[in-house]
Chain A
Amino acid sequence: MTSSSTQSRKVLSKIAQNRLQKELAEWQLNPPPGLKHKITDNLQRWVIDVSGAPGTLYANETYQLQVDFPEHYPMEAPQVIFVPPAPLHPHIYSNGHICLDILYDSWSPAMTVNSICISILSMLSSSTSKQRPPDNDRYVKNCRNGRSPKETRWWFHDDKA
Chain B
Amino acid sequence: MSPAAALSAVAKQAELLRQDGNNCFKKSRFGAAIDAYTEAIALCPNIPIYWTNRALCHMKKDNWERVEEDCRKAILLANGSVKAHYMLGLALLQRTEYKEGVKELEKALDLGRGANPKGYMVEEIWQELAKARYLLWEQESSHRSWELQTLKEACDEALKEQHIMDSSKLEGFINEADVGLMNQLKALEGVFRKAAEQDIPSEVPDYLCCRITLDIFRDPVITPSGVTYERGVLLDHLEKVGKFDPITREPLDESQLIPNFAIKEAVQAYLDDHGWAYRTD
Q: How many residues of A contact B (CB 8 A)?
A: 15
Chain A residue nearest to B249 in the complex (CB): A108
Interface status of B78 (Cβ within 8 A of chain A): no
> Which chain B residues lie closer than 8 Å to A74 at the CB level?
212
Interface status of A110 (Cβ within 8 A of chain B): yes
Interface bits A112-136 vs B (CB < 8 Å: 1, else 0)? 1000000000000000000000000
> Which chain A residues lie closer than 8 Å to B212 at the CB level?
19, 74, 109-110
Interface 9-residue window, one of B98-106, B111-119, B240-248? B240-248
Known: A75-B240, A108-B241, A110-B247. A18 touches B233 (CB 8 A): no
Q: Are A18 and B246 in contact (CB under 8 A)?
A: no
Q: Are A110 and B246 in contact (CB under 8 A)?
A: yes
Q: How far is the CA of A75 from the CA of B241 in the complex (A)?
A: 6
Interface status of A9 (Cβ within 8 A of chain B): no
Q: How far is the CA of A18 from the CA of B241 in the complex (A)?
A: 19
> Which chain B residues lie closer than 8 Å to A75 at the CB level?
233, 236-237, 240-241
**Contacts between chains A and B (CB distance < 8 A), count:** 38
> Which chain B residues lie closer than 8 Å to A76 at the CB level?
240
> Which chain B residues lie closer than 8 Å to A107 at the CB level?
241
Interface status of B215 (Cβ within 8 A of chain A): yes
Residues 221-263 of B at the A interface (beta carbon under 8 Å): 233, 236-237, 240-241, 244, 246-247, 249
B273 to chain A, nearest CB (A): 21
> Which chain A residues lie closer than 8 Å to B241 at the CB level?
75, 107-109
> Which chain A residues lie closer than 8 Å to B215 at the CB level?
18-19, 22
Known: A108-B246, A110-B246. A15 touches B213 (CB 8 A): yes
> Which chain B residues lie closer than 8 Å to A15 at the CB level?
213, 233
Q: Are B214 and A109 in contact (CB under 8 A)?
A: no
Chain A residue nearest to B123 in the complex (CB): A14
Interface status of A151 (Cβ within 8 A of chain B): no
Q: Are A18 and B236 in contact (CB under 8 A)?
A: no
A26, A75, A76, A109, most chain B CB atoms within 10 A: A109
Chain B residue nearest to A22 in the complex (CB): B214
Interface status of B160 (Cβ within 8 A of chain A): no
| 17 pairs from A and B in contact (CB 8 Å cutoff) | A15-B213, A18-B213, A18-B215, A19-B212, A22-B213, A22-B214, A23-B214, A26-B214, A75-B233, A75-B236, A75-B237, A75-B240, A76-B240, A107-B241, A109-B212, A110-B212, A112-B214
Known: A22-B214, A108-B246, A109-B212. 16 other contacts (CB 8 A): A15-B233, A18-B213, A19-B212, A19-B214, A19-B215, A22-B215, A75-B233, A75-B236, A76-B240, A108-B241, A108-B244, A109-B233, A110-B211, A110-B212, A110-B247, A112-B214
- Please list the residues of chain A having a beta carbon within 8 angstroms of any beta carbon in chain B: 15, 18-19, 22-23, 26, 72, 74-76, 107-110, 112
